[in-house]
Structure 1
């Protein structure tokens, strides 16, 4: 994975510490930086990107969206949860897909639009 992957992992862990300590803006900034490092790694690898790295990208989007929810950036969070969902679907990863759908459902609940939201997952 190289330095970018290691840095992304460290920043994600530090973001969790910031979150627990109540520094929501600091946690978001670290998660944003971690995701940028992950994106840079994927860009650098080009056609050598493995499915595991793509899974990491989807997980990174979920992590970023979670921090955006904590910071009341609900529209950005929705976009990132939806991007993650598409990746999970492309990978055929039903667990990841279910996680993203759960996150989108929770986000709809927070926005008070849950009566209008209905999603069917085929094959689960």
Structure 2
């Protein structure tokens, strides 16, 4: 039996052009997919489909950092997409995903908890990987 190594998420790391390392990060996610287009034919009992264009997106959340709020604001209002680097493990910086993305951010200020900043990344073009 092959033993599969498990990796704890505590070492995740995120860099966004214009912000740098996202400080106080407590999670990020990444999704990549391809469109699936139905191609049904008359007379057939089941539909066929073909794969189409790819896309990717991501999200993250971090604790509020007063020093970076202006940087987040500038990134959202930029007229160009930003370089994004996502590292699953800070202890192994040779393995990462990267691409260009539009960035949006939300600020959550609850009366009974820590202030959070969260963001969404909408990929522009291909998502690349390195070292996997």
- TM, length-normalised to structure 2: 0.24
More strand by share: 2
More helix by share: 1
Question: Which one has a bigger Cα radius of gyration?
Answer: 2
Highest RCO, 1 vs 2 (Cα 8 Å, sep ≥ 6): 2
